[in-house]
Amino acid sequence: MEPFVFHRGLAAPIDAINLDTDQILPARFLRKRRSDPEYKTFLFHDLRFDPVGNENQNFTLNQEAFRGATIIVGNSNFGGGSSREAAVFALEAFGIRSVIAPNFGDIFYNNCLKNGLLPIVLTKPETDQLRKTLHQNPGSRIDVDLNEQRVSTDNGITYAFEINDTAKSNLMLGLGQIGLTMMHAQRISEFEARYNAQLYS
Amino acid sequence: MAGQTIVDKIWQSHEILLDPGSGESLLYIDNLFLTDSSSFHAFDLIEKEKLPVRNPKQIFGVPDHFASSKSKKLLDIADPDRIARINDLESNCKKWEIHHFGLDDPRMGITHVVGPEQGITQPGKIVLCGDSHTSTHGGLGALAFGIGGQSGHVLATQCLWQKKLKQIRVTVSGSRQNMVTAKDLALKIVSTLGAGGAFGHIVEYAGEAITALSIEERLTVCNMTIESGGRAGIIAPDQITFDYLLGKDFAPNGRDWENAVKFWKTLQSDPEAEFDREVFIDAGSIEPMVSWGNTAEETLPITAYIPDPFSIEDRDRRESLSNALEYMGLTPGTKMTDIKIDQVFIGSCTNGRIEDLRAAANVLKNHTIKVPALITPGSNLVRKAAEAEGLDRIFIKAGCTWGEAGCSMCVGMNGDIVAPQKRCASTSNRNFVGRQGSGSRTHLMSPAMAAAAAINGRLTDVREL
């Protein structure tokens, strides 16, 4: 997992609310393995492309100024719906390192953390302001500082965000989750023995 | 000491430790279900980390998302990727000695139908699957929720990191009107809570309208919990639960059964237990419900009219509603029962059990359908039971297609899709943009209502048929 400490990147606004995981990665692509070279084209596929495969120019990620974006600033209820982890794989394959929104689907939020992608919750007015700034200054960069828990734009906007300490340190170390759990192997085994002994007794 | 909720009790009995940094508990997991659509990522992960499956006997693999509704033959599956994923699940299960109910196994079906049906899902257990509708299993008093990427972690450790969730209790009092089903109840609950209304919560369903439900109906209600954003839904186990589980293959038996029931009886929320939120619904006020938009919140009684977005003050909400109307091809003010449909789907983990098929057959009997209808049972056992009762003959005589068990058109991953701009009356759980296929227009409803819609070729109030 690639560690996440500080990231400066091109940010694209996506205004739609309720952008669920079916839209982030349509179900028909779920059968693909991550090693598929086309994986990045699956991201937002039905929003980015029309039925014959032409790019939809109204979708910000297709617009010249936002091409190569590594940060998405979204709107309410980003990543709700289906639990598909592959929605995060698609974002990652596309090169997205961080998604900023007023709130996220629970499972999606956790999937981001577990895959080295930083989900940032800001308030609704803050995200509205960020998207507005990005629309007005297409192609501008955002600094995401995980250590300082701060998001800032070049024109002076700075917002603080919260993240739990464990998720933060795992992201900063690029530590996979299994390794972390294995540090508690002894306690797991003891618990399991006790649990099995009292089951149906 | 304040009382405990059912969830508090289950949580406490599974908590190995609490990490103060994240506020997450390391929970011991009783069972993990693996499906064809997501489990390959989990196996890829443990292979990469060179770790074994810790407790294969607690894991169950069932191919459901890609399974063809046409036949049990692999060759009838739409493309090589899907065949490969079904084969991956089988070979991974074989390799690690994990239970596997393959396509032709009599126990195969939709994971969330199979778990309860086999008695794998039991009160007080923690049950997981890499699929959001895992909330279904809560109908038996288990704490069950969908996990995204953590299936690999569970395979390797039999544990999950999870922050204790807040809890909502939805109390449904009174009794249902005639022809109002558990699906209508579920749609009413979601539209009351809102599509994001239960975010970060577990929902306990209580009240006499809930305890009056059969297990199959309880599974339907818990299934839809995720549509209000809730991770899990749960209903306290009672005699109906015990009767349902008795004699099932994976349920305890003999002395174990008696001990289990004694324990299960303790799984009630204490009278003084406190919830983060309480919601009350009167079952008597609920009519047959139909969704019109792109979240299950956007649901109305069949007697209603399509809403007008211009009456809504909140700008985002108004925009989202306009978009939904445009996507759905609907005009404000249209009477719901005037909406013509192109096809019908009856099945899924929401409504693919035997009682659902009976309800549909009851409506379809002695009728001929006007639009194509696909009916797929939730499992091979449901299919067998339906055929033993002659339901398949009623369906076929009415003009419906009687398919094989699987997720089928609910999620459109096995090739059964709704074409762009086509309108489907569906007993599934999601009416999202593109859910049943690119550009598909889904109206969610109960099996009886879907059957009525098939007969008339338009949304129909089953009570008037």
Map out the domains of chain A as residue ranges: 6-176
Q: Does B436 touch chain A (CB under 8 A)?
A: no
CB contact under 8 A, B438 and A46: yes
CB contact under 8 A, B148 and A85: yes
* CA distance, residue B363 to nearest chain A CA (Å): 32
**Closest residue, chain B, to A18 (C-alpha):** B320
Buried/exposed code over A124-147 (b: 16+ C-beta within 10 A; e: otherwise): eebbbbbbebbeeeeeebbbbbbe
- Virtual CA dihedral for B159, B161, B163, B165, nearest 10 degrees? -40
Q: Does B395 touch chain A (CB under 8 A)?
A: no
- Virtual CA dihedral for B385, B136, B451, B214, nearest 10 degrees? 60
Q: Among candidates B245, B198, B244, B240, which has minimal Cα distance to B222?
A: B198
* CA distance, residue A1 to nearest chain B CA (Å): 12
Which DSSP string do the residues of B150-217 spell out, in sequence order? THHHHHHHSEEEEEPPEEEEEEEES-PPTT--HHHHHHHHHHHH-TTTTTTEEEEEESHHHHTS-HHH
Question: Which residues in chain B are closer than 8 Å to A196, comparing Cβ atoms?
Answer: none
Edge-to-edge strand list for the sheet holding B15-19:
B15-19, B24-28, B159-163
Is residue B64 within 8 A of residue B36, CB to CB? The reply is yes
Q: CA-to-CA distance for B377 and B362, rounded, in angstroms?
A: 16
* pLDDT for position B171: 98
Angle between helices B354-364 and B447-456 (to 10 degrees): 30
CB contact under 8 A, B148 and A187: no
Helix, strand or coil for residue A93? helix
* pLDDT for position A106: 85
- Please report, in angstroms and rounded to a whole number, the separation of the first and last CA atoms in chain A: 43
Q: CA-to-CA distance for B349 and B223, rounded, in angstroms?
A: 7
Question: Which site among A1, A30, A127 would you substitute to test the B interface, given the most B Cβ atoms closer than 10 Å to its Cβ?
Answer: A30
Q: Does A189 touch chain B (CB under 8 A)?
A: no
Dump pLDDT digits (tens) for B142-163.
Answer: 999 998 778 999 999 999 999 9
- CATH fit for domain B7-277, picks 1.10.10.10, 3.30.70.3270, 3.30.499.10, 3.30.2350.10: 3.30.499.10
Interface of A with B in 107-166 (CB under 8 A): 107-108, 110-111, 114-115, 164-166
Q: Among candidates B227, B327, B302, which has minimal Cα distance to B460?
A: B302
Q: CA-to-CA distance for B171 and A51, rounded, in angstroms?
A: 45
Q: CA-to-CA distance for A62 and B251, rounded, in angstroms?
A: 54
Beta strands in B216-329 (DSSP E): 232-234, 277-282, 289-291, 299-301
Q: Does A83 touch chain B (CB under 8 A)?
A: yes
Q: Does A196 touch chain B (CB under 8 A)?
A: no
Q: Which residues are CB-neighbours of B293 under 8 A, at least 6 positions away?
A: B299, B321, B324, B325, B328, B431
Q: CA-to-CA distance for A82 and B130, rounded, in angstroms?
A: 10
CB contact under 8 A, B26 and A176: no
**Closest residue, chain B, to A20 (C-alpha):** B432
Segments in chain A below pLDDT 50: none
Q: Which residue has the tokens 């990191």?
A: B161
Is residue B139 within 8 A of residue B116, CB to CB? The reply is yes
Q: CA-to-CA distance for B399 and B402, rounded, in angstroms?
A: 9
Distance of CA B445 to the CA centre of its chain: 13
Q: CA-to-CA distance for B141 and B126, rounded, in angstroms?
A: 10
Interface of B with A in 443-462 (CB under 8 A): none
Q: Does A92 touch chain B (CB under 8 A)?
A: no
> Bridge-partner residues for B346, per DSSP?
B375
Q: Which residues are CB-neighbours of B23 under 8 A, at least 6 positions away?
A: A164, B163, B164
Sign of the C-alpha dihedral computed for residues B73, B78, B80 and B86 taken in this order: negative
Give the domain ranges of chain B: 7-277, 288-464
Q: CA-to-CA distance for B195 and B82, rounded, in angstroms?
A: 31
Is residue B349 within 8 A of residue B432, CB to CB? The reply is no
Chain A, chain B: beta-carbon pairs less than 8 Å apart:
166
For the beta carbon of residue B238, count every other beta carbon within 10 angstroms: 16
What ipTM describes this predicted complex?
Answer: 0.93
Tokens of A26: 């349509």
* CA distance, residue B132 to nearest chain A CA (Å): 5
Q: C-alpha angle with apex A26: A25 to A30, nearest 5 degrees? A: 80
Q: Which residues are CB-neighbours of B462 under 8 A, at least 6 positions away?
A: B179, B288, B302, B363, B446, B448, B449, B451, B452
Decide if B7-277 and B288-464 have a common fold.
Answer: yes
> Bridge-partner residues for A144, per DSSP?
A7, A151
How many helices (H) and strands (E) in chain B?
16, 19
* pLDDT for position B1: 55
Q: Among candidates B224, B185, B431, which has minimal Cα distance to B330?
A: B431
Tokens of A194: 């006790």
- CATH fit for domain A6-176, picks 3.40.50.720, 3.90.180.10, 3.20.19.10, 3.90.1420.10: 3.20.19.10
Q: CA-to-CA distance for A189 and B287, rounded, in angstroms?
A: 51
* CA distance, residue A153 to nearest chain B CA (Å): 24
**Closest residue, chain B, to A108 (C-alpha):** B148
Is residue B171 within 8 A of residue B211, CB to CB? The reply is no
Q: Which residues are CB-neighbours of B455 under 8 A, at least 6 positions away?
A: B363, B364, B367, B368, B369, B370, B398, B465
CB contact under 8 A, B148 and A81: no
Q: CA-to-CA distance for B385 and B391, rounded, in angstroms?
A: 9
Q: CA-to-CA distance for B293 and B291, rounded, in angstroms?
A: 6
Q: CA-to-CA distance for B42 and B148, rounded, in angstroms?
A: 10
Question: Which residues in chain B are closer than 8 Å to A29, comparing Cβ atoms?
Answer: none
Segments in chain B below pLDDT 50: none
Q: Does A17 touch chain B (CB under 8 A)?
A: yes
Q: CA-to-CA distance for A140 and A10, rounded, in angstroms?
A: 6
CB contact under 8 A, A105 and B200: no
> Bridge-partner residues for B169, per DSSP?
B204, B278
Q: Which residue has the tokens 């022809």?
A: B179
Fold of B288-464: Aconitase; domain 3 (3.30.499)
